[in-house]
C-alpha cells in the first residue's frame, strides 16, 4: 500500500452513486488517463511514471524511465521552465509538485552513482548525420543510437552543448553537470566531431555516406536594431557577451550597464553584468511585465539580485553615455505604443538582447527547402524538409526556443527518421483523455506543502558564478515525489479493494493492479467513489 493516507472511515460522496437494484445498469472499468504534467511536457516525458518509482525509493528505475524520453535530466532539472508544474493538479489543492527538483535529484544521483543506459536495439547499419551539438541535436543522436543507428554529430564550435554551454551562465548550469550528460550520450556510441563546420550539406551527406540528416544548429546570430548613436560608448550583443564570458575573456563594462530586451537572455546578461562588478544594471523593455518573453522566475531571480527593470521604455537615441528613452504604453491589443514622453539616463555600456536568428546560409542551395523570414526552415509534421531524407528541428524550425522544446524535437524527429529509414511512417499513438482536477477525489490526500529549493546567500550570488540553487537531499526528493496525486492512473492504494461490499475487486499483486469480478459486482459505484485518482470509470452495462 502506498505511503499516502487512505482514510476508509470517511463516507463516500453519494451524489455519484447509481443504485441499480437487482439488475446492474452500469459497471466499473479500470482506465489510464493522461496526467496534466505529462501532457504539458515539451520533451514528452512520462513524468508520473518516473515519479511513481521515485516515491517508492527506487531511484535507479525512476532514472531509467526518465531516460527513455530525456537524455539530460540533470540539465533539465536546472534550466527547464517546467510547464509541467504550471499544469500540475496538486497546485489547485495546496502547491504544485516540484517536478524539476526531483528530476534534478535523479540526474545528479545518476552521475554520482555512475548509472548507465544500456543499448538494447540491434544495429541497423544505417548512418545519420546531425548538424549541431545543441539540445536538439544531442537528443536526436541519443534516441537514434538507442534505436540501433550509427550517429555522427558535426559541431562547428569547440565543445558540445550549443547555447547550453555558451548562452546559459554557469550559476544556472554548472559545466561539469552538462559535460557529464553529454558524455552519457557519447557512451552510447554517438560520435561528436568538434570544430567541424558544415558548409555544403549535400556534399557532407554524400562524403560520409549518410542515409539521413538532421539539421539542428542553434540561433546564434543576434538581431540588430538601428538606434541613432553619436560617440556611443561600449555596445555589445548579449550572445557574444555571454560567449566571451564562457571563454574566460575579460570584459570591462563600467559602473552602470543597460541591457535592452525582455527575454531570458536579457535577464542572464543583466545578472552576469552584476557579477562582473557593475554597480547598477538596468534592463529596458518596451512592454510591461505581463507581456515579457522571459519566464516569470527568471525576472524574479534577476530582481532579487539587484537588477532594475524599466518596463514600457524604448531607446530612441544615444549620445555618448546619455540615453534618450521614450515611455511606452500598452494598447487594447496588448502592443506597446509611443506616448511622446521622454526620459534621459546615463550608462557606460549597452548590451543588446533583442533575440537571435539562425544562420542557415549553408542550406540555401539545397533544392526544395522553404525558409521563413527569420531564417528558420519549414518542415512537415515529421520534421522533414522539402528535400527527402533531410530533417530539421530545434531553433532551426518555427517554434519556442528553449532547451526542453529542442530536446523534444530531437526525440520526435528521431522517431520519424527511424521510420523513414525503415520505409515506414511513424504514427503517434492516440493520447488518453486528460485527468483534470475535477475528476479527482482529493479528500483522500493529506495537506503537504511543497518544499522550496535552497539558494546560496545573496553576496555570493552577486559576486560569483557559483550555482545559485541547490538540489534536494534524498529525504526532500522522496517527500516531494510522494506528493504526486497519480492523476488518472492507479497506484494500488487498495481503496477499491477495501471498499467493495461484494468482494468483486480482485487484487493481482504488486505492480499488477486489480480486476473486477463482474459475476459479483452490483454496479454500486463505491469503488469509483473511493478511487482518489480517477483510475475507475463507470460505464453503461453492455447490452446483448
- On the question of a common fold for 127-220+358-421 and 231-355, the answer reads yes
Q: Where are the domains of the chain?
A: 14-32+490-540, 42-115+450-480, 127-220+358-421, 231-355
Q: Residue 5 has what pLDDT?
A: 33
- Whether the pLDDT of residue 11 is over 80: the answer is no
Residue percentage of the chain with pLDDT more than 90? 73
- In the predicted model, what is the mean pLDDT of residues 124-153? 97
Instruction: Tell me the per-residue pLDDT of 510-542, one tens digit each, with 9 for 90 and over.
Output: 989 999 999 999 999 999 999 999 999 999 988
Q: Residue 56 has what pLDDT?
A: 94
As a residue count, the chain comes to 544
Query: For 293-315, b where at least 16 C-beta lie within 10 A, e where not — what string?
Result: bbbeebbebbeebbbebbbbbbb
73 in Cβ contact with 126 (< 8 Å):
no
Q: Rounded to an integer, what distance in angstroms lies between the CA atom of residue 31 and that of residue 139?
A: 32
CATH of 42-115+450-480, one of 3.30.1360.20, 1.10.1060.10, 3.30.2270.10, 3.40.1390.20: 1.10.1060.10
- Whether the pLDDT of residue 383 is over 80: the answer is yes
- Fold classified for 14-32+490-540: Alpha-Beta Plaits (3.30.70)
- Whether the pLDDT of residue 241 is over 60: the answer is yes
Q: Dihedral through CA 275, CA 281, CA 286, CA 289, nearest 10?
A: 70
* Integer CA distances (angstroms), 243 to 12, 236, 266, 282, 364, in order: 60, 11, 14, 20, 27
- In the predicted model, what is the mean pLDDT of residues 99-115? 97
With cut-offs at 50, 70 and 90, classify the pLDDT of residue 102: very high
Instruction: Tell me the per-residue pLDDT of 317-345, one tens digit each, with 9 for 90 and over.
Output: 898 889 999 999 988 888 899 999 999 99
pLDDT: which is higher, 452 or 103:
103
Q: Residue 230 has what pLDDT?
A: 65
pLDDT: which is higher, 327 or 229:
327
Q: Rounded to an integer, what distance in angstroms lies between the CA atom of residue 27 and that of residue 11?
A: 21
The most confident of the ranges 32-46, 244-258, 432-446 is 32-46
Q: What is the mean pLDDT of the chain?
A: 90
DSSP collapsed to 3 states, 116-140: CCCCCCCCCCCEEEEECCCHHHHHH
CATH of 231-355, one of 3.30.1540.20, 3.40.50.920, 3.50.50.60, 3.30.70.100: 3.50.50.60
- In the predicted model, what is the mean pLDDT of residues 263-288? 94
Range in 58-72, 228-242, 486-500 with the lowest mean pLDDT: 228-242
Long-range Cβ contacts of 510-513 (<8 Å, 24+ apart): 513/30
CATH of 127-220+358-421, one of 3.40.1160.10, 3.20.20.80, 3.50.50.60, 3.30.530.20: 3.50.50.60
- Whether the pLDDT of residue 415 is over 60: the answer is yes
Amino acid at each position: 500500500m502506498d505511503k499516502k493516507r487512505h482514510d476508509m472511515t470517511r463516507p463516500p460522496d453519494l451524489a455519484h452513486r447509481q443504485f441499480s437494484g437487482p439488475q446492474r445498469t452500469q459497471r466499473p472499468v479500470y482506465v489510464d488517463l493522461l496526467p496534466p504534467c505529462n501532457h504539458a511536457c515539451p520533451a514528452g516525458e512520462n513524468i508520473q511514471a518516473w515519479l511513481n518509482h521515485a516515491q517508492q525509493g527506487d531511484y535507479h528505475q525512476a532514472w531509467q524511465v526518465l531516460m527513455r524520453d530525456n537524455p539530460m535530466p540533470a540539465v533539465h532539472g536546472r534550466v527547464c521552465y517546467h510547464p509541467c508544474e504550471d499544469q500540475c493538479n496538486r497546485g489547485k489543492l495546496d502547491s504544485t509538485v516540484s517536478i524539476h527538483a526531483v528530476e534534478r535529484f535523479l540526474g545528479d544521483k545518476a552521475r554520482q552513482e555512475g548509472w548507465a543506459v544500456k543499448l538494447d536495439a540491434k544495429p541497423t547499419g544505417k548512418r545519420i548525420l546531425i548538424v549541431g551539438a545543441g539540445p536538439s541535436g544531442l537528443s536526436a543522436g541519443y534516441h537514434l543510437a538507442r534505436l540501433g543507428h550509427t550517429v555522427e554529430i558535426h559541431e562547428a564550435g569547440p565543445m558540445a552543448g550549443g547555447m547550453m554551454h555558451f548562452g546559459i551562465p554557469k550559476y544556472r548550469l554548472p559545466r561539469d553537470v552538462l559535460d557529464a550528460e553529454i558524455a552519457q550520450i557519447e557512451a552510447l556510441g554517438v560520435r561528436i566531431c568538434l570544430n567541424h563546420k558544415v558548409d555544403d550539406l549535400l556534399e557532407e551527406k554524400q562524403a560520409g555516406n549518410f542515409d539521413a540528416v538532421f539539421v539542428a544548429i542553434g540561433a546564434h546570430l543576434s538581431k540588430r536594431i538601428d538606434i541613432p548613436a553619436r560617440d556611443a560608448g561600449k555596445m555589445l550583443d548579449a550572445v557574444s557577451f555571454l560567449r566571451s564570458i564562457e571563454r574566460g575573456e575579460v570584459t570591462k563594462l563600467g559602473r552602470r550597464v543597460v541591457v535592452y530586451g525582455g527575454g531570458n537572455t536579457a535577464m542572464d546578461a543583466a545578472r552576469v553584468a552584476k557579477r562582473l562588478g557593475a554597480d547598477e544594471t538596468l534592463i529596458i523593455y518596451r512592454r510591461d511585465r505581463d507581456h515579457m518573453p522571459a519566464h516569470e522566475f527568471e525576472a524574479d531571480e534577476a530582481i532579487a539580485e539587484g537588477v532594475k527593470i524599466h518596463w514600457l521604455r524604448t531607446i530612441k537615441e544615444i549620445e555618448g553615455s546619455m540615453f534618450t528613452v521614450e515611455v511606452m504604453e500598452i494598447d487594447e491589443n496588448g502592443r506597446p505604443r509611443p506616448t511622446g514622453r521622454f526620459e534621459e539616463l546615463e550608462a557606460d555600456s549597452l548590451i543588446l538582447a533583442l533575440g537571435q536568428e539562425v544562420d542557415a546560409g549553408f542550406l540555401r542551395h539545397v533544392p526544395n527547402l522553404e525558409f521563413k523570414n527569420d531564417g528558420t526552415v519549414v518542415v512537415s509534421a515529421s520534421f522533414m524538409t522539402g528535400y527527402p531524407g533531410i530533417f530539421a528541428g530545434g531553433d532551426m524550425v518555427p517554434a519556442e526556443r528553449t532547451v526542453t522544446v529542442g530536446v523534444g524535437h530531437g526525440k520526435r524527429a528521431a522517431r520519424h527518421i527511424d521510420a523513414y529509414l525503415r520505409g515506414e511512417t511513424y504514427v503517434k499513438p492516440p493520447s488518453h483523455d486528460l485527468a483534470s482536477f475535477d475528476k479527482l477525489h482529493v479528500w483522500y490526500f493529506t495537506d503537504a506543502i511543497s518544499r522550496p529549493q535552497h539558494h546560496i546567500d545573496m553576496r555570493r550570488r552577486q559576486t560569483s558564478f557559483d550555482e545559485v540553487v541547490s538540489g534536494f537531499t534524498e529525504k526532500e526528493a522522496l517527500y516531494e515525489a510522494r506528493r504526486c496525486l497519480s492523476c488518472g492512473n492507479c497506484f494500488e492504494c487498495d481503496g477499491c479493494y477495501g471498499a467493495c461490499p461484494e468482494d468483486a475487486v480482485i487484487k493481482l499483486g504488486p505492480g499488477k493492479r486489480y480486476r473486477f469480478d463482474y459475476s459479483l459486482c452490483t454496479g454500486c459505484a463505491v469503488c469509483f467513489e473511493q478511487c482518489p485518482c480517477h483510475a475507475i470509470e463507470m460505464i453503461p452495462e453492455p447490452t446483448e
